[in-house]
Amino acid sequence: DADVTQTPRNRITKTGKRIMLECSQTKGHDRMYWYRQDPGLGLRLIYYSFDVKDINKGEISDGYSVSRQAQAKFSLSLESAIPNQTALYFCATSDSGDRGYEKLFFGSGTQLSVL
Amino acid sequence: LAKTTQPISMDSYEGQEVNITCSHNNIATNDYITWYQQFPSQGPRFIIQGYKTKVTNEVASLFIPADRKSSTLSLPRVSLSDTAVYYCLVGKNMYSGGGADGLTFGKGTHLIIQP
């Protein structure tokens, strides 16, 4: 979805380096998510944020941190990257609609390789 | 949130109707069901969403029996371009007491459509 922009699209880094993945959205949604996908596996939730002052850990938050700088921006950081963090990372926003059912809108993903 | 179980993979042929069933035995009263489609190296895309009985949109139908312990995504007259991974998610209504949690994905069903 072009309204959810992830940068960079691809990144190669070395073990031990600090790296930040950025996500911005123009949808005006309060909720934002970071997911990780490994080959052949589904998406796993890293962190999610329901508004600027609310940050929650997901299934696999160890080794990651996030920052919600504004409603439109949600960044994911790897403080000291390790090879098993090599994966495809997705940012998403959600809209609750009238009935309270969330609908996720995803960015194009960031392919991260840690050597 | 209720755990979901789907077949790992399914095969079908162009022009056929495909039904993918998801089991969610522990679904709660305030939970709803959503299906997403994912193509390789892209973020998942919303297909359809519902709470009970039948929901239909321009691309699919969703059947949910009275006990809501399962749901079936029905894709009419599939084509080669429907080859993708399909995910079933159970989410808690955002307007229910206690609010909602982050949305988690299972491994999904890899649907392969052959000529």
Q: What is the pLDDT of residues A75-85, one digit of tens each?
A: 999 999 999 99
Q: Which pLDDT belongs to residue A96?
A: 77
Is the pLDDT confidence value at B68 over 90?
yes
Q: Which pLDDT belongs to residue B103?
A: 87
Banded model confidence at residue B97, pLDDT cuts 50, 70, 90: low
Banded model confidence at residue B100, pLDDT cuts 50, 70, 90: low
Residues of chain B neighbouring A100 (CB-CB closer than 8 A): 93-96, 100
Least Cα separation, residue B97 to chain A (angstroms): 12
| Amino acid occupying residue B105 | F
Least Cα separation, residue B84 to chain A (angstroms): 12
Share the mean pLDDT of chain B: 93
Q: Which pLDDT belongs to residue B3?
A: 87
The predicted model gives B22-45 an average pLDDT of 94
Is the pLDDT confidence value at A1 over 60?
no
Residues 6+ apart with CB under 8 A from A47: A33, A34, A55, A56, A57, A58, A61, A64, A66, A76
CA–CA separation, B35 and B23 (whole Å): 13
Name residue, tokens 């998403």. A92
Least Cα separation, residue A17 to chain B (angstroms): 25
Q: Which pLDDT belongs to residue B83?
A: 98
CA–CA separation, B25 and B39 (whole Å): 28
Is the pLDDT confidence value at B98 over 90?
no
Q: Which residue in B44, B46, B93 is closest to A100 by CB distance?
A: B93
**A23-64 confidence digits (pLDDT tens):** 999 999 999 999 999 987 889 999 999 889 999 999 999 999
Q: Where are the beta strands (DSSP E) in A26-80?
A: 31-37, 43-51, 54-57, 65-70, 73-78
Is the pLDDT confidence value at B78 over 90?
yes
B86 and chain A: CB distance < 8 Å anywhere?
Answer: no
Please name which of A112, A96, A92, A83 lies closest in space to residue A20, comparing C-alpha atoms: A112
Residues of chain B neighbouring A106 (CB-CB closer than 8 A): 42-45
